[in-house]
């Protein structure tokens, strides 16, 4: 985490709240959907960055949450994949209350640390738990968009096959994107013909489907706190330089 | 007032709970950090204060925990939007660590094990506003929450309360720390919603 390693800082004036109009909502799983927003004059973003979303009630009460950006930079188009938080204050409204054509307030992009640049050439391992795959998917998409040959490995831990977000696109990407490998880990229930073990991600899985430490890969880990703690400890135990392990954590009440 | 979302009601706290703008209340203790959690052996732990002239004071874990400590109960506010009320800590006031230090500096860089840094004005660390905390809720602070010791500056967003703190560096001019370089605010007052540069 040397300061010199920070890829860039946000320069300029205040991050403005902008009107973001919902243009499409795509179902991803029973409990997650991707919301596509049109945000005029969006300044662009790097994969891994997030936005703040603000909802305001009729009496002026408002609340904010952070969401990772799911798409690679694409003009005024910003996609957020929202996982329903049980009893949540914001996610149920985004998933069911907001209609196509409605606007909400968004500001960003935010974060200059948990970011992959298409000029980076180190091999990359992405390890996501649940909806922690969202910023990692932005990196996979940005790699594709840039025509990058940087070797990418994604290890995606989900509870059951039905919980895989971006399932169709991931199948397509692994077929079409040279140098992208994807491994799944199932914590509750695996597909019928699954050869591996079901359970929490283990060192053996990370060692088999990630990169050896001597290649000095860039490691990005995103998911719930317990998952991120476990995986980051595994990577350090495996011999990865802690400064090459970038983490992003979230939970029902977390970021 | 911004764009109103018809049908959005939200979850209001009880009337007496006053939170900074954009924050919501949590009863959990979420974790935010940029990388793996460093594990620091107490036998090798040390804390130092360095002035702009290179003068240095240093403590071992035993020396540090022998200093007079205070019980602290404060609300904390994370830039990722959660606030937690009435958190209970034990720690040594920063002014105790700075006693007898001669300096012309107005700024401090907190340094942590693992390489994390954050900048805070010196006056925000004095007069009962900041501590080097080593207990949370009556127990040693868990590693993921910054143990063995973390800076505690509860009146600023919680990233200023550097986890795994190992020293304070007095600086004549303000410099940016880790999150500040990555776009977060230099000061970070939650009541003025100073989340990002320019706020």
| Chain B residue whose CA is closest to A56 | B4
State whether A103 and A129 are in the same domain.
no
B37 at A interface, C-beta within 8 A: yes
The whole-angstrom distance between A255's CA and the closest CA on chain B is 5
Q: Which residue of A has its CA nearest to B19?
A: A63
* Range from A214-218, B21-25, B115-119, B127-131 carrying the lowest mean pLDDT: B21-25
Same domain, A97 and A130: no
Domain count, chain B: 1
Query: Is residue B23, in this structure, part of any structural domain at all?
Result: no
Which residue segment(s) compose the domain that B172 sits in? 58-192
Within-domain flag for A116: no
Peptide bond between residue B113 and the one before it cis (omega within 30 degrees of 0): no
Claim to verify: residue A139 and residue A175 sit in the same structural domain: yes
Facing residues of A222 across strands? A128, A248
Angle, vertex CA A36, rays to CA A153 and CA A249, nearest 5? 45
Based on the domain organization, do A72 and A172 belong to the same domain?
A: no
Domain identity same for A74 and A186 = no
Binary contact (A254, B80; C-beta < 8 A): yes
Distance, in Å, from the CA atom of B38 to the CA atom of B42, rounded to the nearest integer, reads 12
Pick B182's closest partner by Cβ from A104, A112, A253. Answer: A112
Pair A144, A243 in one domain: yes
- Does the residue B174 lie in any domain? yes
Question: Is A246 in the same domain as A128?
Answer: yes
Structure confidence by residue, pLDDT tens digits, B100-128: 999 999 999 999 999 999 999 999 999 99
A225 and B30 in contact by Cβ < 8 A?
A: yes
Domain of A147 in residue numbering reads as 124-250
Q: A171 and A96 in one domain?
A: no
Question: Does residue A153 sit within a domain?
Answer: yes
Per-residue model confidence (pLDDT) at position B15 = 61
Tell me: cis bond preceding A114? Omega within 30 of 0 counts: no
Asked, for residue A117, whether it belongs to a domain, the answer is: no
Domain assignment present for A118: no
The total of structural domains in chain A comes to 2
Indicate which CATH number applies to the domain containing B83. 3.90.420.10
Q: 10 Å Cβ neighbour count for A129?
A: 27
For A37-96, write each residue's pLDDT tens digit.
999 999 999 999 999 999 999 999 899 999 999 999 999 999 999 999 888 899 999 999
Q: pTM value?
A: 0.90
Contacts of A62 in chain B (CB under 8 A): 1-2, 10, 22
pLDDT of residue A87: 84
The answer to whether A56 contacts B2, with C-beta atoms less than 8 Å apart, is yes
Q: pLDDT for B150-189, tens place per residue?
A: 999 999 999 999 999 999 999 999 999 999 998 899 999 9
Cα–Cα separations (whole angstroms), residue B43 to B46, B148, B188: 8, 11, 34
Do A192 and A79 fall within a single domain?
no
């Amino acid at each position: 985490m040397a300061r010199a390693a920070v890829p860039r800082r946000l320069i300029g004036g205040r991050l403005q709240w902008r009107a973001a109009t919902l243009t499409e909502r795509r179902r991803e799983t029973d409990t997650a959907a991707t919301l596509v927003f049109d945000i005029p004059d969006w300044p662009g973003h790097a994969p891994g960055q997030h936005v703040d979303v603000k909802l305001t009630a009729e009496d002026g009460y408002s609340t904010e949450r952070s969401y990772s950006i799911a798409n690679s930079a694409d003009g005024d188009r910003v996609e957020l994949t929202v996982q329903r938080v049980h009893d949540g204050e914001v996610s149920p409204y985004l998933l069911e209350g907001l209609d196509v054509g409605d606007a909400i307030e968004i500001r960003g992009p935010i974060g200059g640390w948990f970011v992959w640049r298409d000029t980076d050439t180190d091999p990359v391992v992405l390890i996501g738990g649940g909806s922690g795959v969202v910023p990692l998917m932005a990196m996979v998409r940005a790699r594709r968009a840039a025509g990058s040959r940087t070797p990418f490995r994604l290890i995606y831990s989900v509870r059951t096959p039905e919980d895989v977000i971006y399932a169709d696109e991931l199948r397509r990407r692994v077929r079409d994107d040279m140098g992208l490998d994807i491994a799944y880990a199932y914590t509750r229930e695996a597909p019928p013909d699954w050869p591996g073990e079901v359970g929490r991600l283990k060192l053996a899985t990370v060692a088999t489907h990630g990169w050896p430490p001597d290649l000095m890969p860039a490691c990005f880990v995103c998911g719930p706190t317990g998952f991120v703690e476990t995986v980051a400890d595994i990577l350090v135990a495996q011999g990865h330089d802690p400064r090459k392990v970038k983490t992003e954590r979230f939970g029902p009440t977390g970021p | 007032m911004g764009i109103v979302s018809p049908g959005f009601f939200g979850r209001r706290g009880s009337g007496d709970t006053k939170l900074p703008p954009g924050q919501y209340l949590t009863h959990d203790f979420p974790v935010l950090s940029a990388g793996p959690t460093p594990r620091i052996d107490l036998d090798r732990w040390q804390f130092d204060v360095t002035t702009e002239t290179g003068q240095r004071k240093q403590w071992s874990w035993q020396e540090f925990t022998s200093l007079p400590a205070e019980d602290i109960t404060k609300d904390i506010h994370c830039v990722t939007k959660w606030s937690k009320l009435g958190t209970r800590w034990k720690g040594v006031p920063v002014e105790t660590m700075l006693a007898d230090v001669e300096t012309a500096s107005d700024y401090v860089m907190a340094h942590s094990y693992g390489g994390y840094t954050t900048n805070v004005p010196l006056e925000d660390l004095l007069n009962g506003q900041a501590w080097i905390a080593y207990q949370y809720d009556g127990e040693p602070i868990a590693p993921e929450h910054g143990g063995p010791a973390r800076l505690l500056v509860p009146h600023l967003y919680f990233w200023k309360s550097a986890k795994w703190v190992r020293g304070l560096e007095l600086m004549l001019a303000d410099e940016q720390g880790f999150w500040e370089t990555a776009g977060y605010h230099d000061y970070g007052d939650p009541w003025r919603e100073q989340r990002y540069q320019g706020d």
